[in-house]
Amino acid sequence: MPLVRTLRLSCVAVSCLLVAMLAGCATSDLQLKPSYQPVSDAKGAGGSLVLASSLEGTVPGVGERIQWILGEVKDTDGKVKGNVTSPTAPSALVRDALQKELLRAGYAVQVTKAVPQEAAYGLVLAASTLQLDETRSLVKVEADCRVSFSVEIWVKGAKTNTLSFESRFSDFAVRDREKLHQDVLQKAFASAFKRALPAIVEQLKK
């Protein structure tokens, strides 16, 4: 009987350990709600401006039940422990940030799937990538954000130029991983748009 009792206790202990390990794995995921604040001081001529882009983002009717993967959560050995996710698609985050910067520059921005032939001025967000990764150790959390995008310039129904931009920013913290990722994303975006907006505004003046 003592042997049977010992085996039962051992099984219970192992089961508790497995549950704890699985719970630890589950908490490695990080769900973010990124919010970008525009920073560029570029001022445009104003007026209507069409911003054409894929309209993917939060799927209507499901709220935040669908999560888009922005990057991976890894340990210091490079083993993937989870994902960094958002209820908004990576391309939509780039599009929304560009729209905020254009509004700040003085344009009345209309987001559509394509630039209408009759539009005087338009931009096409032709390609964009966003990667936000995390590396965790016992003492700190590191975050690394890379963003790149290309913008086609359209004037009076004709494409006049294509501009490409990219940026990368990394940082670490010992706590509050959500704030760390938000700050890293903000700074990576800000670095890209501080260069992008003056160039875009200049092209729209031609």
Burial of 25 (0-12, 13-18, 19+ CB in 10 A): exposed
Pairing of strands 80-86, 68-75: antiparallel
Crossing angle between the packed helical segments 177-204 and 90-104, to the nearest 10 degrees: 60
Q: Kindly write down the DSSP assignment for every residue of 36-61, as one continuous string.
A: -----------EEEEEE----SSPTT
Residues 56-95 have pLDDT tens digits of: 665 555 556 678 999 999 999 999 999 999 999 999 999 9
| Other Cβ atoms within 10 Å of 153 Cβ, number | 20
Using a 10 angstrom Cβ sphere, with 0-12 exposed, 13-18 middle and 19 or more buried, the burial of residue 11 is exposed
Question: What pLDDT was estimated at residue 15?
Answer: 38
Closest CA to 75 of 130, 17, 28, 132: 28
- Kindly report, residue by residue over 121-164, the tens digit of the pLDDT: 999 999 999 999 999 999 999 999 999 999 999 999 999 999 99
- In this predicted structure, the answer to whether residue 1 has a pLDDT above a threshold of 80 is no
| pLDDT at residue number 7 | 33
